A = this chain, B = another copy of it.
């Protein structure tokens, strides 16, 4: 069993954009067989890339004020306690619209 505070995992920059870090808090190296847990931090004025991919996301927003862009010109507000399920192949983007860090958990499947 692994028990750690999420801040004990080193934050890594995200290649797709500035102002974003990711912590892989549970992953393959921990023996996780099916899915991985990451914690993202998006700085004010920044956002994750608007993109799509084959795998799904399951997201829980921890802190901050943001929007999820789910189609061109369509955004939905999210904040602490928001849950987002992004099915595979659906375009999505997490945008920080507040003054503080937008911090959220995002889980993805581990490829067999």
> Which residues from chain A sit less than 8 Å from chain B, CB to CB?
1-7, 9, 25-26, 30-35, 37, 56, 58, 60, 62, 68, 70, 76, 78, 81-88, 90, 92, 105, 107, 109
Contacts and interface: CB of A to CB of B under 8 A. Distances in A.
A90 B60 CA distance: 26
Nearest to A8: B83
A29 to B, nearest CB: 11
B1 A83 contact: no
Given A25-B83, A105-B105, A3 B34 contact: no
Nearest to A78: B3
A4 B82 contact: yes
A78 B64 CA distance: 23
